[in-house]
Structure 1
Amino acid sequence: MTYKTVLQVLDANQYQTDLAAAAELCAAANAHLSVLLVKVAAPPRFGDHAGLSVAWLDIQAAEFEQLEKAVEAVRTTLKDMGLSFDVAGEYTEPARADDLVGERARYADVTLIGTNMDPSLRARAIEGALFYSARPVLLANQRQSATLLPKRILLAWNSSLESTRSAREALDMMKNAEGVNVVLVDPTASRWNGDEPGADVATYLARHGINVTVDRLPSAGRGVEEVLNQRAMDTGADLIVIGAYGHMRLRERIFGGVTNAMIEAPIVPVLMVR
């Protein structure tokens, strides 16, 4: 699909670098930038009850003030860039952050998650967007700027519902790309894959005018994410498109999984779809 509204989730404590990258992305794609600055409440400190109450109110007041200043600073910065934008701030308890992001993400085409965030907030923002918005998440990385106009795309394919949704979600981007590598790791012939794994999805994409190449790669003892990342580097991919959480979320958390590995250490920007 065409992305006309991008939600950028920012950590109110450290937002300048991610804001600049988001503004550049939206300017290139002629998209509206919707900024959500999140300030996570500090945990209460131990002490006598009366002293704790006064100190806690002072801490909250200081945190609210910091958030308000960050919102105004972002508005001022974006006004000078000539972008279509809106800015909002949310002060929240840690456990509520994923809900807030998910609710806001329902009114955007994609949620952009930067690299300069508190790790706990970043994890909650990603899960909130993936599980509570029915929208994709675009993960930036330190090495390469995220873009909505990639020239080369790697589509991770395993015939699952999640990979099917990811292919459909990224269809417009793949049409405009110079080339798309559909990558299957250790594929086997099956009811879902067919006798020639990857052939069916390649045919589907080709009918949309997409220049597609199918890569069937062995894992050779490596993790799937390692194979995908290496192939992305070998092909000069600007973006990896992948379905997220093909297994139960609890199982992914306990045993790891490709989704978590791609979230934690993306080699190139990643578009995740659930």
Structure 2
Amino acid sequence: MKTILFNALGDPCNAGRLDAVLDIARAFEAHVTLLHSVPFEASVAIDPYAATFAALAPVWQDEANRVRDKIIADLGNEDVPWNWVETVGPTARALLKESALQDLIVVGARDPQAIDAGPSFTAGELAVTADCPVLVLPENASRFDASAPVLVAWDGSAEASHALKAAVPFLRQAKDVYLAVVKEASKGEKPHDLPPLGGADYLSRHGISSQLVEIDPREHVVAEAIRTAAEIRHAGLIVMGAYGRTRLSERIFGGTTRDMLADVRIPLLLTN
């Protein structure tokens, strides 16, 4: 993993996320591309509200300049190679376009501009459309310990398998790797596409040892059971497949994916 794309914002939590990204870059000797998207496009000139957008454009550009200057100043004494990209339009679309030659996208768990406190539109959109894995950092993120234990949500599906393979660089550095299997409550539920040991066998061929953990979700929703299992094991990262698709601005996630994005307490690595 040598190229990392970071969603650079001007919110108070951005500095902590940037420190976490720099930790990741150092751990993998990677280059960081910092992208800041200005929410204005010349194409809105045909819109009846074009005058409003035109009036806001200088404000948005001033904010973009402020964000850029602060981040560049913060990076002045860092030992990580980086470059700055400024674009216009929706953030998720800009990140998706820029991600074609990136190994990892890093975003926050909340969209600062969002009216509600729901899951990040940007994180959700990228999780089900990007070709590379998406790392979602908690709001209070400040560092990233690449050696911390990692918990992988494993159900043997194609999505979980893609996530496991994409996470190999992280799993190589983790001191412990746990494959968390959700206990099936009834015979009527869909069986695992691959047996639980399939994931462990795959990792062993990459020189990575792992432990199987069975999660019983009877007292919690599956997402909360996964988070609890990760917290008990002091995991620094949760890995899982992203289930869902996009339809215009509406995101339709699998229930567990959405629940995980609704409360990101531990960095979450998603792969579609």
Distance 1:222 1:249, change over 3 A: farther
> By how many angstroms is 1:112 displaced?
0.8
| Length-normalised TM-score, structure 1 | 0.80
Q: Deviations over 1:166-207 (max 9, x none)?
A: 11111232233222111111247947244xxx1222222223
Q: Is 2:19–2:142's contact at 8 Å kept on the other side of the alignment?
A: no
Equivalent in the alignment of 1:192: 193
2:105 to 111, 116, 119: 111
> By how many angstroms is 1:255 displaced?
7.7
Q: Which amino acid aligns with 2:165?
A: R
State how far apart, in whole Å, the 2-side matches of 1:38 and 1:22 are. Answer: 18
> By how many angstroms is 1:123 displaced?
2.6
State how far apart, in whole Å, the 2-side matches of 1:7 and 1:149 are. Answer: 17
Q: Is 1:11–1:117's contact at 8 Å kept on the other side of the alignment?
A: no
Please give the secondary structure, in 1, of the residue aligned with 2:218. coil
Point out the structure with max Rg over C-alpha: 1
> By how many angstroms is 1:63 displaced?
1.6
Deviates more, 1:259-268 or 1:114-123: 114-123
Please give the secondary structure, in 2, of the residue aligned with 1:86. strand
Q: Is 2:148–2:174's contact at 8 Å kept on the other side of the alignment?
A: yes
Distance 1:181 1:17, change over 3 A: closer
Q: Is 1:145–1:269's contact at 8 Å kept on the other side of the alignment?
A: no
> By how many angstroms is 1:137 displaced?
0.6
> By how many angstroms is 1:264 displaced?
1.7
State how far apart, in whole Å, the 1-side matches of 2:108 and 2:143 are. Answer: 9
% identity of equivalent residues: 20
Equivalent in the alignment of 2:24: 25
**Which runs of no fewer than 5 residues in structure 1 stay unpaired?**
43-48
Q: Is 1:141 matched up with 2:142? A: no
Please give the secondary structure, in 2, of the residue aligned with 1:230. helix
Q: Is 1:126 matched up with 2:123? A: yes
Equivalent in the alignment of 1:205: 203
Please give the secondary structure, in 2, of the residue aligned with 1:106. helix
Please give the secondary structure, in 1, of the residue aligned with 2:8. strand
Q: Is 1:178–1:211's contact at 8 Å kept on the other side of the alignment?
A: no
State how far apart, in whole Å, the 1-side matches of 2:35 and 2:100 are. Answer: 13
State how far apart, in whole Å, the 1-side matches of 2:113 and 2:261 are. Answer: 11
Distance 1:148 1:134, change over 3 A: farther
State how far apart, in whole Å, the 1-side matches of 2:177 and 2:232 are. Answer: 13
Equivalent in the alignment of 2:167: 170
Equivalent in the alignment of 2:34: 35
**Which runs of no fewer than 5 residues in structure 2 stay unpaired?**
42-47
Equivalent in the alignment of 1:228: 226
Equivalent in the alignment of 1:97: 91
Q: Which amino acid aligns with 1:11?
A: L
Equivalent in the alignment of 1:11: 9
State how far apart, in whole Å, the 2-side matches of 1:143 and 1:69 are. Answer: 22
Write the mapping of 1:47-126 to structure 2, written as runs, cut at 5 A: 53=51, 56-92=53-89, 96-115=90-109, 117-118=111-112, 120=114, 123-126=120-123
State how far apart, in whole Å, the 1-side matches of 2:208 and 2:253 are. Answer: 36
Q: CA RMSD in A?
A: 3.0
Count the aligned residue pairs.
256
Deviates more, 1:59-68 or 1:140-149: 140-149
Q: Which amino acid aligns with 1:270?
A: L
Q: Deviations over 1:111-134 (max 9, x none)?
A: 111357416498342244334430
Deviates more, 1:103-112 or 1:56-65: 56-65
State how far apart, in whole Å, the 1-side matches of 2:23 and 2:192 are. Answer: 44
Equivalent in the alignment of 1:238: 236
Deviates more, 1:6-15 or 1:133-142: 6-15
> By how many angstroms is 1:38 displaced?
2.4
Distance 1:18 1:193, change over 3 A: closer
